[in-house]
């Protein structure tokens, strides 16, 4: 049975890659789902638009769990026959399912430490965020997605209210690091026409962005 890997920080290293200067051809950099085989090697990447590509060469994923799916930021170049050259792949800061606010424990409070919002967008499967995080060691920080409520609109559609919970956890604000997060929507089971409202706290104040599922 395939497991969905819900990870805080997971760094994937590609065998044979180096930090030498290299000109990447017409490559895409996207958040994708990456499947591993029973040896923990990369088997397939899937975009949020439904495209799927097999790696053109063997790609070893360091510390990856066999038969699992990871949410990653991937640089790749599509080739013929549904294959792709994989150039870079990094795990993202958080890709955990949203927790209903009523399921939080009494001592497990919603944390509203601020972040810098670079961009936010919604696909059919995820709400995706690119953030600037003030940090010295971002692995100490705690990010979670909270379902704060839902209601039925006058037109009969569902509206889901999500919020980013961010606990700085005493990590010093030494510098800004560019980070990605993805909130899976699968457990919410949104339908076409439903709405997602996503709230987070920034250094400029509270930000809420609305999306309609298409």
- pLDDT, one tens digit per residue, over 82-128 is 999 999 999 998 889 999 999 987 767 789 999 999 999 999 899 99
> Across the chain, where does the E strand assignment appear?
3-4, 28-36, 42-46, 52-55, 68-78, 83-91, 99-100, 116-122, 126-135, 142-152, 158-167, 175-184, 195-202, 205-212
Q: Please report which confidence band the pLDDT of residue 138 belongs to, taking 50, 70 and 90 as the band edges.
A: confident
Residue 14 has pLDDT above 80, yes or no: no
Residues 112 and 162 in one domain: yes
Residues 136 and 158 in one domain: yes
User: What is the pLDDT, as a whole number, of residue 24?
Assistant: 60
Q: Please report which confidence band the pLDDT of residue 45 belongs to, taking 50, 70 and 90 as the band edges.
A: very high
User: What is the pLDDT, as a whole number, of residue 93?
Assistant: 86
Q: Are 164 and 198 in contact (CB under 8 A)?
A: yes
The mean pLDDT value for 45-63 works out to 93
Q: Please report which confidence band the pLDDT of residue 139 belongs to, taking 50, 70 and 90 as the band edges.
A: confident
C-alpha separations of 36 from 66, 137, 173 in Å = 6, 28, 35
The span from the CA of 53 to the CA of 197, in Å, is 31
The model's pTM is 0.86
For residue 102 the two structure tokens come to 């009523």
For residue 80 the two structure tokens come to 């013929």
User: What is the pLDDT, as a whole number, of residue 21?
Assistant: 56
Residues 156 and 202 in one domain: yes
Residue after which a domain boundary falls, among 32, 60, 91: 91
Residue 2 has pLDDT above 60, yes or no: no
Question: Number of structural domains, the chain?
Answer: 2
How confident is the model over 179-203, as pLDDT tens digits? 999 999 999 999 999 999 999 999 9
Residues 138 and 108 in one domain: yes
Diameter of the chain by CA atoms? 57
Q: Please report which confidence band the pLDDT of residue 19 belongs to, taking 50, 70 and 90 as the band edges.
A: very low
Burial status of residue 56 (CB atoms within 10 A of its CB: 0-12, 13-18, 19 or more)? middle
In sign, the C-alpha dihedral spanning 204, 136, 92, 2 is negative
Residue 40: CATH number of its domain? 2.40.50.500
Residue after which a domain boundary falls, among 40, 67, 91: 91
Residue 74 structural domain: 3-15+23-91
The mean pLDDT value for 1-30 works out to 52
């Amino acid at each position: 049975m395939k497991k969905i890997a819900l990870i805080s920080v997971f760094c994937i290293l590609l065998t044979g890659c180096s930090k030498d200067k290299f000109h990447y051809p017409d490559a895409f950099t996207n958040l994708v789902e990456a499947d591993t085989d029973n040896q923990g090697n990369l088997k397939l990447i899937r975009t949020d638009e439904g495209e799927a590509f097999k790696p053109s060469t063997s790609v070893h994923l360091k510390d990856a769990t066999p038969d699992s799916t990871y949410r990653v930021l991937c640089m790749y170049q599509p080739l013929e026959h549904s294959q792709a050259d994989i150039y870079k792949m990094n795990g993202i800061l958080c890709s955990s399912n949203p927790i209903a606010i009523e399921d939080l424990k009494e001592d497990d409070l919603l944390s509203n430490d601020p972040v810098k919002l670079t961009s936010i967008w919604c696909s059919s499967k995820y709400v995706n965020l690119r953030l600037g995080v003030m940090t010295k060691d971002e692995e100490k920080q705690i990010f979670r997605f909270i379902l704060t409520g839902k209601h039925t609109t006058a037109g009969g559609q569902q509206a889901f209210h999500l919020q980013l919970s961010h606990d700085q956890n005493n990590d010093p604000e030494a510098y800004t690091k560019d980070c990605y997060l993805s909130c899976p929507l699968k457990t919410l089971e949104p339908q076409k026409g439903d709405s997602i409202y996503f709230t987070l706290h920034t250094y400029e104040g509270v930000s809420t962005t609305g999306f309609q599922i298409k």
